[in-house]
Chain A
C-alpha cells in the first residue's frame, strides 16, 4: 500500500535507462498500481461521505490528514506510472530513429523461443499491445515528418562529415548496389572505397563496417 508497488516501477524504469534493450512490460505491477489508486479513491469517497459535501478540515484534522495522504499517494502513483511509460516510449522512439524495427525483432524473438521450447510457452513480447500500437503510429509520424526533408535525410549521421569517400569492409553479402559511379557488388569480406552517402544506410543496418 501507499506507493510501494509504484516504487518498484520506478526502479524498473531506472534500470531500463541503462539497458540496451527493452525489458518486459510489467503489466502485473501496472495493474496493481492502478488498483491501488482506485482503492485510495474509494477510501477518499467513503471518508468524505458522512460530511455530505460540507467538509471543514479545521474541525476534524485527523480526517483531513488521512485525505491528504491518500491524495498525495494517488498523485505520486500517477507520476510513477507516467514516468515508467515515458521512459519506455522514449526508448521506442529512439529505436524508430535508429531504423531498428522493434516489432519485427519481438516477433522473431517469440518465434525463436517457440521453436526452441517445442512450441510450448513461447516468450512473450517485451512490449505491451498498447506499446506496439504506439511504435506503429510513431514510425508513421516520423516517416511523415522525414518526408518533408527528403534532401536532408534527417535520420542520417549526426557526426560532422569529414570525408566524402570512405573505406568500408563488407560484413554480410548485400548484393549489388547502384551508385553514381556505377554499380558495386558487395560480397562478404571485400573492401571498397565508396561515397559515404551511398552506403550510410548499409552501415547502419550492419552490412558494412567503416574502416578508419
Chain B
C-alpha cells in the first residue's frame, strides 16, 4: 500500500465503480483464502462482477472476426483482463466450496443462524450444494455400513460422550492482516 491507495480510499467517489469492485473482489479473495472460517457471501459485489464478465464475453464474441489491427489489439487486452477476472472468481468460489466440503454440518448451522441478519453466510446455490452433498454422503455411509449399526449409533451429529461429531475449523488460528499505514 502506498499513498495513492490511501488517497483513493478517502476519495471513494472519484474512483470508478469498476476499479473499486476489482479491489473489493481481490480483497474478498485474499480474505477467503486466508481465513479459517467461511466468510459472508458478498452478493451485490458478485452480481456486479458477473454481469460485467458476461458483458465482456459478449463484446469479445461480437468483435472477433474484425481484422482491424487496432480492435484486435484491444480485444487481446480485454480477453487478458477477462481471464484474470475469471480466475479471481473461480479461485474465490473454489476456496469457499473447499471449506464447505470440510465442515459441512458446522457451516450449515452457522448459515441457519445467519439467516436473521442482513447478510446470509452462503449464496443460495452454495447452500443447495451443501445440502445435496451432505445428503449424498450420509446416504453413502448408510448404504455402506451405518444402516447395520445399532440405532443409537447411527447419527452423524452425535454429541454424547463429551465429543461432538461436528467438526469445526480452527477459529483461533493465526491469520495475517494487512493494515493501511496511517501516519
Q: How far is the CA of A78 from the CA of B141 in the complex (A)?
A: 11
Contact of B94 among A131, A138, A148, A158 (CB under 8 A): A158
**Interface-located stretch among B35-43, B113-121, B143-151:** B143-151
Interface members, chain B 147-164 (any A CB < 8 Å): 148-150, 153, 156, 161
The answer, among A134, A138, A154, A164, for a CB contact under 8 Å with B83, is A164
User: What is the chain A residue whose CB lies nearest that of B152?
Assistant: A41
B23-63: CB near A (< 8 Å → 1, else 0) gives 00000000000000000000000000010011001001100
> Judging by beta carbons under 8 Å apart, are A75 and B161 in contact?
yes
A152 touches B90 (CB 8 A): yes
- Given A37-B149, A78-B149, A152-B93, are A89 and B83 also a contact pair (CB < 8 Å)? no
Cβ–Cβ contact A141 & B132, under 8 A: yes
- Chain B, interface residues (CB within 8 Å), range: 35 or more
Q: Which residues of A contact B168 (CB under 8 A)?
A: none
Is B84 positioned at the interface, with any CB of A under 8 Å from its CB?
Answer: yes
Cβ contact within 8 Å between B53 and A81: no
Q: Which of B53, B91, B125 contacts A158 (CB 8 A)?
A: B91
Say which residue of A41, A89, A93, A160 sits within 8 Å of B87 (CB atoms): A160
Indicate whether A190 reaches chain B with its CB closer than 8 angstroms: no
Q: Tell which of A33, A41, A131, A153 touches B86, judged by Cβ atoms closer than 8 Å.
A: A153
Residues from chain B with Cβ under 8 Å of A158 in the complex: 90-91, 94
Beta-carbon contact of A37 and B140 below 8 Å? no
Closest chain B residue to A156 by CB distance? B90
Q: Closest residue of chain B to A92, judged by CB? A: B140
Chain A residues numbered 107-123 whose CB sits less than 8 Å from any CB in chain B: none
Q: Which residue of B lies closest to A138 (CB)?
A: B136
Interface status of A22 (Cβ within 8 A of chain B): no
Q: Are B125 and A148 in contact (CB under 8 A)?
A: yes
Report A-chain residues with C-beta under 8 Å of the C-beta of B149.
34, 37-38, 78
A interface residue numbers (CB < 8 A to B):
30, 33-34, 37-38, 41, 71, 74-75, 78, 81-82, 85, 89-90, 93, 128, 130-131, 133-134, 137-138, 141, 145, 148-149, 151-154, 156-158, 160-161, 164, 180-181, 195-197
Q: Which 7 A-B pairs have the closest CB atoms?
A: A161-B83, A41-B150, A180-B64, A130-B143, A134-B140, A130-B144, A164-B80
Chain B interface residues (CB < 8 Å from chain A): 50, 53-54, 57, 60-61, 64-65, 76, 79-80, 83-84, 86-87, 89-91, 93-94, 101, 125, 128-129, 132-133, 136-137, 140-141, 143-146, 148-150, 153, 156, 161
